[in-house]
Amino acid sequence: MDRNLMVIDWNVTTMDRDYYWDMLSLSTFYYMFPLPIQIQYIVSMIEFFYYPILAIIGVPANIIVVLILCRGKCGLSKCITRYLVAMALSDLLVIVTEVILRRINNYTFQLNVLKLTAVCRPLYVVIRISIDCSVWFTVSFTFDRFVAISCQKLKSKYCTEKTVTVVLATITVLLCLKSIPIYFRYKPRWITDNVEWRCSNTQSYFRDPRWAAFRVFEKVLTPLLPFILILLCNTLIVRYILMANHVRKGLKQQKMHKHHNDQEVQSRRKSMVLLFTISGNFILLWLVYILYFFDFDGYIVDPFGVLEQVAYMLRNLSCCTNSFIYVATQSKFRQQLKAAVKYTLIPIYKLLNKQSN
């Protein structure tokens, strides 16, 4: 089965494939293929429907999250709000570039303008930046909550709006600079009538030791280092909470501190639930990707690319799950969402009734 493999990113192996042909092959010759090929076909069929659904849900969900959070009526601090808005915007950019312009376009629409080398080269750079920002904004949010919960002396200096702005801007600029070499790793796949089409890796990308060092650097930067940092921060937070709760049991016996401590526990609990849910979601959805990271060449446990496909599906899913985390963990966010839906649907309902009458 010729899948015409074409590497287009350091961690992305994509395929020029016709999913309608895959569907025909799956239904007609399914039992003639060995089991791994059957599984690969099934995963490919799931992808064909999975990414459009992900885009339909993810784009409006992230837009709604940004609009609601920007109103500042969710009971969250301004620091947390800025981090969550930045995470939602980066997730939205991932869905637009990686899911819609790349995955869905390659699978379904195949717009010619996106096949031009002049378009696909910068597109791959933007995809890389958006994914890196999505990951590292989550890391910065986790570290901010670690400081707020575990480092009381540093909290007043670090957990400020100015610091959040500086951190987010610095991360964005550094990741943009880091991604510049990606533009130069591609060459036209073919030239027709002096028009350059598609993108393929230059020969030096596989031979030059500088490119080899760059690939290792990118792999460590995303996702290995963020994965370790998020696990470390959450472990230290849990350790601090256990120690603080032990001390607080003694303080609760004093009536003059009882009311103050209960409020502190309640506020801290809400912050921890949000943090652990976002961090846990990141760890779970990126775990398969980490496994694929250690089997990058695919020759050990994933010779047919099934683990790779599942890894990217789960990774891209992480870009729209935070919206549902806010709904599940934040009561005031749910209230704002209900109000937004109410004020949006009521005028539409009245207009429809007026037209029907």
Residue range 240-285, pLDDT digits in tens: 887 876 666 655 555 444 444 556 666 667 777 888 899 999 999 9
Name 13's bridge partners: 7
Q: Report pTM.
A: 0.85
Q: Which of 82, 90, 89 is nearest to 165 (CA)?
A: 82
In the chain, where the domains are located: 5-70+76-329
| Sign of the dihedral defined by the CA atoms of residues 57, 59, 62, 68, in that order | negative
Candidates 352, 320, 342, 338; CA nearest to 61 is 320
Q: What is the dotted CATH code of the domain comprising 5-70+76-329?
A: 1.20.1070.10
Question: Does residue 210 contact residue 119 with C-beta atoms inside 8 Å?
Answer: no
> Does residue 177 sit in helix, strand or coil?
helix
Quick: pLDDT tens for 170-221. 999 999 999 999 999 999 999 888 889 989 999 999 899 999 999 989 989 9
Say how many C-beta atoms besides its own lie within 10 A of residue 63's C-beta: 14
